[in-house]
Structure 1
Amino acid sequence: MGLTEFWKGRRVFLTGHTGFKGSWLSLWLERLGADVAAVSLAPETEPSLYQRLAPWDDRGHHIVDIRDAEALLALSRRFEPEIVIHMAAQALVRRSYENPAETFSTNVMGTANVLDAVRHTPSVKTVLVITSDKVYANSGSGIPFVETDTLGGKDPYSNSKACTELICQSYRDSFFKGHNLRLATVRAGNVIGGGDWSKDRLIPDFIRAFEGGEPIMLRYPEAIRPWQHVLEPLGGYLNFAEALTNEWGRDLPDALNFGPHPESFATVSELAEALGRAHSVEDVWRLAPGEHLPEAPALTLSSTLALDTIGWRPRLSLQQTIDWTAAWYKANREGENMRAFSLGQIAAYEEAVS
């Protein structure tokens, strides 16, 4: 499953490059020698991973809202990419409750704009759209979802990502079949790692509480999630995009899950306590008072199809994921060069999968 020379000089159009996952992927693509043109909003947090990983070659980085269809089309046609990786999204569940219209306009119409730009860019061979593990209709049973399970989603974020999947299906069937272009979606678990400072996510909430000398407040401590290090699904995305581009004669899935090994499924409180041990903290969490917006009690993924089709499997244990994450934030607090440190983690992960 190791990454090859495939990406060297490959023209990649990336959306969402200033976000948490997007910043990591931008750095990895740069390390692999890809020629990247990227669009995103300006970083929304201070600090931000994108800023920590600077300096960037700004010639290929553009601040563009994916809801601006004309700007997307102009950049795509000028750059003439071979591969499009669409990551840009409003990705926070609680924010989607606060502003559902923003969430749907970004995740649904923004995706339609990206795919419409692709439709008018003849150079594109492969499109990979990143959705979410939350696209499935979730009864809370805890049974790992497989790619053929029913799509759904009750909260606006989850529902908008299920809608994204349907938009991809429509564009695939209506415009891309028979035109030497492959479009697939990928669904990852609860992604953690160094450099996330988003609101209402467990790792950044823990780091803020730890640095403030306070316990973290948990809304649903018994909720089960498929925790995985950010480099795990990103490696899967790169492998899948390579296979879609190179293996035209092979029947590959239209969607793949990228989740952790079942041993990495854990409750929110279990992960918080493991983070506490990594930071030598005993009094780790408290139950947040008051009523909270609904969230699924259990969410787990099966990645069997990814193993069977492209040979991808998770490599890091839950403890390694926690250790790598804690090490990143520790290095950041101590003033290390976080671009070099992050490249070191990417190199270590490449070695693990080679």
Structure 2
Amino acid sequence: MESVVVNSNFWKGKRVFLTGHTGFKGAWLAFWLHSMGAKVTGVALAPSTEPNLFSILGLESKIDSYFLDIRNYEELSALLQKSEPEIVLHLAAQALVRDSYQDPLGTYSTNIMGTAHVLEALRQTPSVRSGLIVTTDKCYENKEWVYGYRETDPMGGYDPYSSSKGCAELVTASYRSSYFNPEDHSSHKVGIASARAGNVIGGGDWSKDRLVPDIVSAITKKVPLHIRSPHSTRPWQHVLTPLSGYLILSEQLYNNGDQFSEAYNFGPDDDATVTVGDMTQRFGEVWGDMSNIVIEKAPQPHEAGLLKLDSSKAKAKLKWSPRWGFQETIEKTVEWYRTYYENSSDIVHLTERQLLEFQQG
């Protein structure tokens, strides 16, 4: 089946409101939108790491960037209405499982009420035609099944982060049925969907408690790498893979909101669902440095051991597909970090080139 590429012409001149633009996925998405000529307003907390992709890509001068907390409804709503977006992409979140154990209330208020705030502000903004709420593959009630979760499987979540994302899905579904019902699309003209993606990797992530940043830190700083949960299985994909799905889906919500307002999974093919240990091994081999790998035996907070998505719906309805396989995903990720650490002046050009290569398949 021929897969669809992101339609750059559609995005040229579109007014886009993007939350979470200082994070790893958000910065890649802001850069991509800017490269297509979209007029982007970004809302997020200030970058939480140093270095960070937001600063490296010079996004502060490329988009209208605002640092504010989505838990502040009044400020968020005022800015969203002022920017008069046609399309809203909500990525802002407290996204770390371990942090959710340490600060459950902060996680719940950001991920549940923050999502409700975005949806309510969107509801009060007549210019909006398309709204996409991004959650996670961890929103599902995880039964450690060997097959992939489908969009109709129940929401759940063992830890505060996962359950907060399941709740965000319920809030989104309620707003859609109550205020943006596809059956009444001719009157409100707004398409609302949610997107659930698995683990993403790629250049520019320095978040704590993430595997690739930990590997890169171990290699570049020559310190031992303590692998967390080496036998856990995860669906690994390049960051551009789900982002392409978000863009394709947002365009369909804009043009055909009555037909596409529902939940979608965006995950890699089965060959990219591998253990943390195997992922570490492959990454080290591509980089050429397998030294200092240590298996961590200390007790860890509970995190699902087996988790993968069934993305058949996105492939069938959106004609979306993962354009890079597992090996190419690792190669592109290693290429980005090596370039950054060895010749950082080339990193923006490399990021542009990887975007182009991804689009070309």
State TM-score, norm by structure 1: 0.97
Q: 1:144 is matched by which residue type in structure 2?
A: G
Unaligned runs of 5+ in 2: none
Q: Is 1:218 matched with 2:218? A: no
Q: Is 1:3 matched with 2:2? A: no
Partner of 2:290: 282
Partner of 1:337: 346
Q: Is 1:183 matched with 2:192? A: yes
**Structure 1 residues 86-123: Cα deviation after superposition (integer angstroms, max 9, x where no partner):** 00000000111111111001101111111111111011
- Aligned with residue 218 of structure 2, among 205, 209, 218: 209
**Residues of 2 paired with 1:246 and 1:339: CA distance?**
32
Q: Is 1:36 matched with 2:44? A: no
Q: 1:50 is matched by which residue type in structure 2?
A: F
Partner of 1:69: 73
**Residues of 1 paired with 2:123 and 2:108: CA distance?**
22
Q: 1:257 is matched by which residue type in structure 2?
A: N
Out of 30-39 and 49-58, give the one that drifted further. Answer: 49-58
CA RMSD of aligned residues (A): 1.2
Partner of 2:248: 239
Shift in Å at residue 140 of structure 1?
A: 1.0
Give 1:135-214 correspondences, 5 Å limit: 135-177=139-181, 178=184, 179-214=188-223
Secondary structure, aligned partner of 2:260: coil
Runs of 4+ in 1 over 6 A off after TM superposition: none
Secondary structure, aligned partner of 1:247: helix
Q: How many corresponding residue pairs?
A: 351
How many percent identity over aligned positions? 46
Out of 229-238 and 49-58, give the one that drifted further. Answer: 49-58
Shift in Å at residue 214 of structure 1?
A: 2.8
**Residues of 2 paired with 1:252 and 1:37: CA distance?**
24
- Aligned with residue 24 of structure 1, among 22, 25, 28: 28
State TM-score, norm by structure 2: 0.95
User: Does the 8 Å CA contact 2:196/2:266 hold for their aligned counterparts?
Assistant: yes
Shift in Å at residue 247 of structure 1?
A: 2.0
Partner of 1:348: 357
User: Does the 8 Å CA contact 2:15/2:86 hold for their aligned counterparts?
Assistant: yes
Shift in Å at residue 159 of structure 1?
A: 0.3
Secondary structure, aligned partner of 1:128: strand
Shift in Å at residue 253 of structure 1?
A: 5.0
Give 1:260-279 correspondences, 5 Å limit: 260-279=268-287
Q: 2:192 is matched by which residue type in structure 1?
A: L
Partner of 1:230: 239
**Residues of 2 paired with 1:333 and 1:80: CA distance?**
39
Shift in Å at residue 337 of structure 1?
A: 2.8
Q: Is 1:324 matched with 2:324? A: no
Q: 2:123 is matched by which residue type in structure 1?
A: R
Unaligned runs of 5+ in 1: none
- Relative to 1, partners in 2 of residues 1:284 and 1:304: Cα closer, same or farther, differing over 3 Å? farther
**Residues of 1 paired with 2:96 and 2:322: CA distance?**
24
- Relative to 1, partners in 2 of residues 1:209 and 1:33: Cα closer, same or farther, differing over 3 Å? same
Secondary structure, aligned partner of 2:345: coil
